[in-house]
């Protein structure tokens, strides 16, 4: 039986990220003082004091750093198993966790690109080999 997928409940901090996802844009926090990006969104920059950040859109390009074929579904993903999950290091620096779209696990180091699925509240980002 398939359960509902967990609803994403944005916080005040993360609402701009999820608002952008609905427009199929992937935002990173950028620290202009340190010229570095970070993800997931945090209340402070990791890279300079006192830690101001602004939002910037990611290019969507990256490299696969880890990949696993998952047989233990999260709630709502029962019908999709097995599915690939991975960590992608974006060209801007931060690593992102997401599903990987591929017939089998791509080699670690494979260039990847962001892909978009669904509409509105159900918009989801994944990565596929570039």
Provide the binding-site residues for other proteins, judged by CB under 8 A. Answer: 5-11, 14, 40, 46-47, 65-75, 77, 80, 82-83, 85-87, 89, 94-99, 105, 107-109, 124
Q: Which is nearer to other proteins, 14 or 115 (CB)?
A: 14
Compute how many other C-beta atoms are within 10 angstroms of the C-beta atom of residue 21: 19
Q: Which is nearer to other proteins, 65 or 130 (CB)?
A: 65
Residue 57: CB minimum distance to other proteins, A: 17
Residue 72: CB minimum distance to other proteins, A: 5
Locate 21 and state its tokens.
Answer: 């996802």
DSSP string covering 78-129, please?
Answer: GGG-SEEEEEEEETTS-EEEEEE-SSSPPPTT-EEEEEEES-GGG-EEEEEE
Nearest to 8 by CA among 89, 101, 123: 123
Locate 115 and state its tokens.
Answer: 């892909």
CA distance 11 to 115: 24
Q: Which is nearer to other proteins, 23 or 107 (CB)?
A: 107
Residue 88: CB minimum distance to other proteins, A: 9
CA 24 to chain CA centroid, nearest Å = 12
Residue 61: CB minimum distance to other proteins, A: 17
Q: Which is nearer to other proteins, 47 or 116 (CB)?
A: 47
């Amino acid at each position: 039986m398939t359960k509902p997928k967990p609803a994403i409940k944005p916080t005040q901090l993360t609402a701009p990220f999820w608002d952008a996802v609905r427009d199929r844009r992937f935002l990173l926090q950028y620290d202009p003082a340190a010229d570095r990006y970070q993800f997931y969104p945090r209340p402070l920059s990791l890279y300079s004091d006192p830690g101001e950040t602004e939002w910037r859109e990611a290019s969507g390009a990256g490299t696969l750093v880890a990949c696993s074929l998952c047989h233990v579904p999260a709630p709502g993903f029962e019908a999709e198993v097995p599915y690939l999950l991975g960590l992608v290091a974006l060209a801007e620096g931060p690593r992102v966790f997401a599903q990987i779209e591929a017939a089998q696990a791509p080699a670690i180091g494979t260039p990847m690109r962001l892909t978009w699925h669904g509409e509105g509240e159900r918009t989801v980002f994944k990565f596929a080999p570039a």
